[in-house]
Amino acid sequence: MQDPRSNTHVVEATHAQSALGQTHPSIQRQIWHFARHYLEMCVAMCLGGTALALLVFRAAPAVLGIQDLRDTAPAAALIVAAVLYTLPMATWMRIRHMAWRPTLEMSASTVGVAVIVSVLYGMGVLSLATLEAWVAAGCAPWCAVMLIPMLFRLPLYTGRSGHHAS
């Protein structure tokens, strides 16, 4: 049997301790933490995603003797591309001991933007040229979209909440 109140006090004490400084990095360190984390995820996206995109859009169709999805169904290709660029990024986040929730939030952001752009194209709001520009841009749009969930979780990505084990 445990007094729930004593439990609360323990939690409060732990928070106060971390707020007192030992895990409160300087602004420069926070900016560096944010930038480094962002660049790591961008590199994972651009290297891993580009390799996967080549495989799925070029190598596999060549082997199977089918057409490039980007030519036959560019709206679907954009969503597939977003998934392919997101997978290595999400894998990297897990390798870096990020929790599932921010990992899935970020994955949902990139794939979500791809779905929105594809739907807008389907509705005739965006032209084929715009859609093709998104597809041709490779990892760039997804790297940019990652900033949105990052800004919503600044304490996590600046290292203030101390999510990293190391």
Judged by the rule CB under 5 A, the positions of this chain that interact with Cu ion are 41, 89, 93, 106
Residue (66 or 151) nearer to Cu ion, CB = 151
Nearest-angstrom CA–CA distance, 114 and 83: 9
Minimum distance between the CB of residue 24 and Cu ion, rounded to whole angstroms?
Answer: 24
Neighbours of 155 (CB within 10 A): 11
Residue (89 or 145) nearer to Cu ion, CB = 89
Minimum distance between the CB of residue 145 and Cu ion, rounded to whole angstroms?
Answer: 10
Residue (38 or 73) nearer to Cu ion, CB = 38
Minimum distance between the CB of residue 153 and Cu ion, rounded to whole angstroms?
Answer: 10
Nearest-angstrom CA–CA distance, 80 and 65: 19
Residue 149's nearest CA partner among 96, 93, 88 is: 93
* Tokens, residue 115: 């779905």
